[in-house]
Structure 1
Amino acid sequence: MNPPPGPTAATAPLDRHRLPPGVTRPAKGDPAVVGNHRVIGRISRNAAGTALLGVDDTGSASVIRVFPSPLADSPEARTRLEAEFDRLARVRSLCAATHRSADGRATEPWLASSYAPGHTLAAHVAAHGPLTGGMLTALAAGLAEALAAGHAVGALHLALDPSRVILSPEGPRVVDLGIARATGRPISSPRWSAPEQRSADPEEVTGYADVYAWGSLVRFAATGWEPSGEATDEPEIGSVPSHLAPLVRRALTETPEQRPTALEVLRELTSGKDPATAVSALLAAEWTGVTVPEPRRAGRAGRPALLAGSAAVLVIALLGGWAVVRPGEEPEGPGPTAADGTAEGTDEVERSGPTVAVDPEDVEAVVAEAVELALGASSFTTFDYAYANSGGDFTPFHYLYSEDPRPAMTRANYLGPVGGGLLALGADLDDFVHFSDVPGATTDSIERVYYLDPGPNAERRGEPREEWEALVHSLEGVLTAQDPVVYEGLGTVDDEYVPVELSGEDPAERGGHHYTGTFVHTFQRTTHSEPVETDFDLWISEEGYPLRFLLVGLPGEEFGTDSGEPLTLTHQTDFFRFDQPVEITIPEESEILPEHP
């Protein structure tokens, strides 16, 4: 259904203290100023860089995509970025984010586009259900208009999914046009991609791939169906209305040349009239009742950790030393900044990249930033694995988190092919649904069942988010090492035992800045509960996120195994897919049983 009538726009001005939902304050390392835009918030971070929210001198808000310097470290890459920026500057569209400014020659190239307030299509369908009637037709026409306008100047999207369609009060807005081709990085889930994007030479992919995505989006908006990732020349379209069904069916055919072009889709939807005039009239008549979330007081990225002890204080690293802030108090933020990004009263200029890229040997700053970035991420997956050479392996845990289309987190444990876990939902992740993976009807199939009451004999564990945050904060233990932490330079990690469904990456390509050292640590998930001297290996990605934390402890000669070897305790935590698409299955209410079957 469509949203209820309500205000058409949030009227409160945006600044670092009042931000739209889903936007956090800038993180350490984010620039204070980009071009003529003052940065007030961070929207997301993915393989194509960081999306920031900025305002210019007139108060107009823009989304600023800052591309990491490794993406532009060759003349060819710079040329590709600038060519795409030039195409985007020539796009004239009612329903695509408007190009405002760009700099392809900056150390970290950037692109600024108009900011559209509103919910994503994914969030709307999750909250209100599918679109109907004239709203659905207006969406279909608006998306086709944006794609046709881009294709007219050679700009392709190649990453269109429900998270890149904003339902603004004025109409649908397509964002991130051109980003995937400009960077050569995938920024969307493969199942939303056209089949040729998964098999053909990237240089041979054409605008037909965007038309395929248009068909998937219109079907999703009409039915709530998400694509399976498999294509056929006889696609299922469910309850798509009859006036849209033939176009959607043609758009979803497996063979690119059998699909219509975006312009053909647009002309058919507007009955051959002037596209701009027809789409404007359609939006004016049918696009009604779209609400915009009010800005709210912005918190710090992530959730701060309270240190144990009778006073329970929060310790925050500041430039000049350490400040102690009691729970419930808000620490003083940085002072005002000058136009050049320099904090007033100081000579220090904010860094334009992660600390690990600027000064990897500043271990304290690198670790603090890695923790902050991880806690502020909008999505992630994590594999946590503990084992010993006496008593065997302990249960491994998988953690998945995503804020799109709504906040959800799972903690799953697997013993052989089946397992179980907990699904946490809601803004505070405090609505819990248990699940178990059990053998299905056939030999090789696995089925997941959901239930509310796990029964009196079920293992009771803590909340998934709290457990995961404890894993992130365990990185701070390296700062307690008596001897200096050793920076080993860049290196790769071996992902032989990491589930591929969590990483989704080639192990040979996963690596980062490597640190080693020794500190005293307590292995929580083993039978040995005393603190022991522990060797650690820590990898931080080139974007500043934690990548792997490996701990190996030797309790001492008095603790041995049945074979006479010294007891060795190992705990390995692998972090993946920060601020990238993470799929979490959320069951329908009818699928959730009252108790364990």
Structure 2
Amino acid sequence: MNPTSPRPFAADRLPAGVSPPAATDPDHIGPYRVVGRIGAGGMGAVYAGIDPSGACAAVKVVHPHYAADPDFRARFAREVSLVSRVRATCTAGFLGADTDAESPWMAAEYVPGGTLRAHVKKNGPLTGGMAISLAAGLAEALTAIHAAGIVHRDLKPGNVILAPDGPRVLDFGIARATDATALTRTGGLFGTPGWMAPEQYARVEATDRSDVFAWGCLVAFAATGRDPFAGGPVEAVIHRTRTEEPDLTGVPDEILYTVRRALAKDPAVRPTAAEALAEVTGAWSATRVGAPLETDPTRVVPAMLATEWRGMTSAAPRRIRRSPRVPLLAAGAVATAAAVIGTWFVVGPDAGVEDPGTAPEATASPEATDPGGPAVDGDPRDAAAVIGEAVASAEDASSFIVHHLRRSAETASDSSDLTLWYTEEPEPLMKEVVYAGPAVFTVLQIGEGPDDVLARIDSNLAGLVEGDYYRPDPEEDVRDPRADWAASLEPLRELLGDADAVTYQGRTPTPYEDYPQEFLDTYDLAGRTGHHYTGTVPVTLNAGVFDGTFDLWVDETGYPQHFQSYTRFGEWEEDAEYERIAFIDFDGPVEVPVPDESEIAASREEGSP
């Protein structure tokens, strides 16, 4: 990072997608003070860290059980040594590492901006000079990576950040040390189906030409908005990759020949990364009237980016008001500590938490506004702005986990208990599980369209007995996960119709005690707090229209955190409707397993337990 450039984050300001550290996260990693969590995966976690000089970094830490493996440590140390040699305009710069630490770590430049996948989804494909400069930047990064003796092996849209000053390739090198990233269920392949070269599916070791194939896929995706080979079951993706040619309509003519060669099925036909870089920069330079002839393509890339790279911005860091860090406690003390901490959150003045007993009305406070952060940070009393942003943030999330529960004595047919998982990597995948008494229904929606749907029915009569996935008949009534996701946000949208009646209650503990046990076991939900809003909302039932009371919590980064409503429509206590939506996580790592073709039954009858 240029020393004169603005800091991407500070201790009290974190970019969108970076969450405050959990109670169990470390305070320091090497010289870095941990101020946020960027993400986590099977191999470890990535934290936002600040060193004593104020420099910012993304710090990757290995999970303890891998750190205890001497062979893993040795591989990790070798890869860190290689990564430290990479110098390129379009990679995240290496900052330091300690491979002998109790928990080995490596620090790299934090790159602000969204992923290539998220940008294309939201804004459409890159065109003209933007697409060409992206192709050059990624080729320049690969040239440097390969020169250091590294094969990336998992180049995909989620590993490319579109920073304000150009694209950046992330996660190079370390993938080789882990030997376990993005494993498929089709025999332990390394990489992400849809972005892997054909030879990798034949168990041939990935080479630099395999990375060039992935480069061609990325450039095609960026320029067309289409995954070159993805969509449907993994086996279908593999078949298309090995036997079919992608539709390259939309790739700029100047680089079409190079991209087509990069996507050759035979690795020997593909150019090296350096050759692809020379061809792309040469094609661009040829269009520059009077431009001096530069013999080193890597020196052309900065000029290309300065000329062509436009419109990429990163959201201003959001102000984070956090409570004091909670030490890791023995399991037996967690419940008691959570209760004490929750109380402190309500009344502790030093934490910036307001006492709900003296809650102000939801009126504007111009002096409190902070245009660089989320609405809830600028003025939490502006309910319309906060709730509107919460809905928009949820709709734009690249991943989420949500549990939606609705119980009604009068409208039992509308009662539901479902969980939704969604991720955009390696392609859009949504999983829905509906709990319906003795049966559990699962729907897997693959891709953006409605054609690739898998369903499964499990028996829950005497312990869960799983059935097989099957492809439902077109006439079969199968739930639409995307419609159910939209329905989960509808109660929040309804609040916008009368936002003036919403009252801000300050920051209070978020209810979580009755969440499904799987979430309590997996996520650090104890002690969560949020900006709390209450009010009434009209609820239409068979017996008429009634005023329901609601509570909504919004977290400090503007995402919805918890919603619940209660409507009484009769004189008895059971004459009521209760709705609760637990927004477990947004923009974090979400795994949605896809079954092999051999695991998919031909019909519902064959797939039932």
With the shorter chain as reference, the TM-score category is 0.5 to 0.7
List aligned pairs for 1:36-115, cutoff 5 A.
Answer: 36-115=31-110
Measured in 2, the distance between the counterparts of 1:155 and 1:148 equals: 10
Q: Which residue of 2 aligns with 1:214?
A: 215
Q: 1:297 to 1:249 in 2, by over 3 A?
A: same
Measured in 2, the distance between the counterparts of 1:159 and 1:30 equals: 27
1:281 aligned to which of 303, 324, 331: 303
* Count of aligned positions: 403
Per-residue CA deviation, residues 103-151 of structure 1 (Å, 9 max, x unaligned), is: 1111211111111111211121122111111111110000000011000
1:234 partner amino acid: E
What's the CA shift for 1:276? 2.1
Measured in 2, the distance between the counterparts of 1:95 and 1:195 equals: 26
Q: Which residue of 2 aligns with 1:243?
A: 254
Measured in 1, the distance between the counterparts of 2:432 and 2:347 equals: 29
Per-residue CA deviation, residues 312-334 of structure 1 (Å, 9 max, x unaligned), is: xxx98648945426779999399
1:134 aligned to which of 123, 126, 129: 129
Q: Which residue of 2 aligns with 1:332?
A: 351
What's the CA shift for 1:478? 9.6
Q: Which runs of 5+ in 2 are unaligned?
A: 183-190, 231-236, 283-293, 324-333, 354-396, 405-414, 456-470, 493-510, 523-584, 595-609
Indicate the SS of the match to 2:180: coil
List aligned pairs for 1:75-474, cutoff 5 A.
Answer: 75-187=70-182, 189-200=192-203, 204-226=205-227, 227-228=229-230, 229=237, 230-231=240-241, 232=243, 234-271=245-282, 273-298=295-320, 318=337, 321-324=340-343, 332=351, 379=399, 399-402=420-423, 411=432, 413=434, 473-474=515-516
Measured in 2, the distance between the counterparts of 1:108 and 1:191 equals: 33
1:579 aligns to 2:600 (yes or no): no
Q: 1:448 to 1:86 in 2, by over 3 A?
A: farther
Q: 1:330 to 1:405 in 2, by over 3 A?
A: farther
Q: 1:234 to 1:379 in 2, by over 3 A?
A: closer
Per-residue CA deviation, residues 402-422 of structure 1 (Å, 9 max, x unaligned), is: 377999976465999998799
Measured in 1, the distance between the counterparts of 2:428 and 2:280 equals: 35
Per-residue CA deviation, residues 389-445 of structure 1 (Å, 9 max, x unaligned), is: xxxxx999562133779999764659999987999x9xxxxxxx9999699xx9977
2:28 aligned to which of 25, 33, 57: 33
Q: Which residue of 2 aligns with 1:505?
A: none
Q: 1:59 to 1:409 in 2, by over 3 A?
A: farther
Measured in 1, the distance between the counterparts of 2:520 and 2:255 equals: 58
Scaled by the length of structure 2, the TM-score of the pair is 0.55
Q: 1:418 to 1:582 in 2, by over 3 A?
A: closer
Measured in 1, the distance between the counterparts of 2:424 and 2:5 equals: 22
Measured in 2, the distance between the counterparts of 1:436 and 1:219 equals: 23
Q: 1:452 to 1:289 in 2, by over 3 A?
A: same
Per-residue CA deviation, residues 323-367 of structure 1 (Å, 9 max, x unaligned), is: 426779999399xxxxxxxxxxxxxxxxxxxxxxxxxxxxxxxxx
Scaled by the length of structure 1, the TM-score of the pair is 0.56
Measured in 1, the distance between the counterparts of 2:297 and 2:206 equals: 26
Indicate the SS of the match to 1:122: helix
Q: 1:413 to 1:421 in 2, by over 3 A?
A: farther
Measured in 2, the distance between the counterparts of 1:414 and 1:477 equals: 15
The two structures, once aligned, show a CA RMSD in angstroms of 5.1
Measured in 2, the distance between the counterparts of 1:149 and 1:24 equals: 32
2:10 partner amino acid: D
Indicate the SS of the match to 1:290: coil
Q: Is the 8 A contact 1:44 1:50 kept in 2?
A: yes
Per-residue CA deviation, residues 219-252 of structure 1 (Å, 9 max, x unaligned), is: 1110111132331363332221212212212222
Per-residue CA deviation, residues 154-207 of structure 1 (Å, 9 max, x unaligned), is: 112111111211111221111111121111122464322223334315xx2211
Q: Is the 8 A contact 2:90 2:140 kept in 1?
A: yes
Indicate the SS of the match to 2:253: coil
Q: Is the 8 A contact 1:235 1:253 kept in 2?
A: no
Indicate the SS of the match to 2:351: coil
Q: Which runs of 5+ in 1 are unaligned?
A: 1-8, 302-314, 335-376, 385-393, 426-432, 480-510, 512-574, 585-597
Q: 1:184 to 1:422 in 2, by over 3 A?
A: closer
Q: Is the 8 A contact 1:25 1:300 kept in 2?
A: yes
Q: 1:404 to 1:444 in 2, by over 3 A?
A: closer
Indicate the SS of the match to 2:36: strand
Q: 1:435 to 1:212 in 2, by over 3 A?
A: closer
Q: Is the 8 A contact 1:45 1:580 kept in 2?
A: no
2:515 partner amino acid: H
Measured in 2, the distance between the counterparts of 1:478 and 1:275 equals: 53
Q: Is the 8 A contact 1:420 1:436 kept in 2?
A: no
Q: 1:31 to 1:322 in 2, by over 3 A?
A: closer
Indicate the SS of the match to 1:191: coil
Indicate the SS of the match to 1:28: coil
What's the CA shift for 1:297? 2.4
Indicate the SS of the match to 1:473: coil
Q: Which residue of 2 aligns with 1:305?
A: none
Q: 1:465 to 1:107 in 2, by over 3 A?
A: farther
Measured in 1, the distance between the counterparts of 2:210 and 2:300 equals: 25
Q: Is the 8 A contact 2:90 2:137 kept in 1?
A: yes
Measured in 2, the distance between the counterparts of 1:265 and 1:47 equals: 33
Indicate the SS of the match to 2:194: helix
Q: Is the 8 A contact 1:16 1:25 kept in 2?
A: no
Indicate the SS of the match to 1:167: strand
Measured in 2, the distance between the counterparts of 1:328 and 1:409 equals: 40
Measured in 2, the distance between the counterparts of 1:213 and 1:436 equals: 24
